[in-house]
A and B are shown apart, each in its own frame.
Chain A
Amino acid sequence: MVTIDDMGGVPVEITAFAFMPSEYSQKTGSYYEFSLEFGYTGFDELTEVFASNWLYTPTEVYSDPQLELTNVVGGEWILFEFDESFMYDASVNLLLEISWNGPIDPPDSRIYAMSWEDSKGGALVVSDADATKGYVTTMVPHMLFVTSMSLEPNTFAGIKSSF
């Protein structure tokens, strides 16, 4: 979960998302049925039931039947560029869900992401992609959102003056 304030408080078009790998990560990783979904939550702290946290049905912004990560370097973002961007309207908190299925192949290809301690339970985690419940934690991943802020062409102005 990412708060409105964390997102800057204004609508943004999100075109990509990134995690920060640790320096102890392996350089390659393989993940089956990888999926990244974006949506909204009405909560300021997550509950243990995954489905109940979504305010609306989320949008899958990135998926890969078998995600292959290579040349991973600690301290350099792992970037996922969306096929279609996600328009965040800044009305409520942003919620995103990442899921993948095992086994990890090869078994030693483990990539670790850096995290930070939030003041509220902003993350919900479980080690089973089919689980409906998880445990809420204050350990939240270090994240990066690539955005595009647009001014739509509705800013026409017509001025008529007499002098």
Chain B
Amino acid sequence: MKYTALIALLLTSISFSGEIEVGESQFESLNPFCH
């Protein structure tokens, strides 16, 4: 017996939320806000 199967996989848009932290809190800046 011969079977033919057609399988279509549809992956809809998937989002992953995350955070990227760069550096650390070593020093307090000498100037306001950024530096």
Which A residues are closer than 8 A to B by beta carbons?
Answer: 2, 6-8, 12, 19-20, 22, 24, 29, 31, 75, 98, 100, 104, 110-118, 123, 125, 127, 137, 139-153, 155-163
By a CB distance below 8 angstroms, the chain B residues around A19 are 33-34
B18, A149: Cβ atoms closer than 8 Å: yes
Q: Are B13 and A159 in contact (CB under 8 A)?
A: no
Majority secondary structure, A binding face: strand
Range, interface on chain B: 20 to 34
Main secondary structure of the interface of B (DSSP, over half): strand
Taking a contact as CB atoms under 8 Å apart, the answer to whether A114 and B8 are in contact is no
Q: Is the CB of B15 within 8 A of A153?
A: no
Of all chain B residues, which has the CB nearest A88? B20
**In the complex, what's the smallest C-beta–C-beta distance from B14 to chain A, in angstroms?**
5
| In contact, B6 and A151 (Cβ under 8 angstroms) | no
Contacts of A163 on B, CB cut-off 8 Å? 2-3, 5
Bound-complex Cα distance A2 to B32 (A)? 21
Asked whether, in the complex, the Cβ of B20 is within 8 Å of the Cβ of A153, the reply is no
| A112 CA / B17 CA spacing, docked (Å) | 28
Report the Cα distance A45→B3, complex, angstroms. 61
Residue of chain B at shortest CB distance from A98: B34
Can you spell out 24 A-B residue pairs with CB atoms less than 8 angstroms apart? A24-B28, A29-B33, A111-B32, A112-B31, A113-B29, A113-B33, A114-B26, A114-B27, A115-B23, A115-B29, A117-B27, A123-B35, A146-B17, A146-B18, A147-B18, A148-B15, A149-B16, A150-B13, A151-B11, A153-B11, A156-B8, A158-B6, A159-B5, A159-B7
Q: Are A142 and B24 in contact (CB under 8 A)?
A: yes
Are B32 and A112 in contact, CB atoms less than 8 angstroms apart?
A: yes
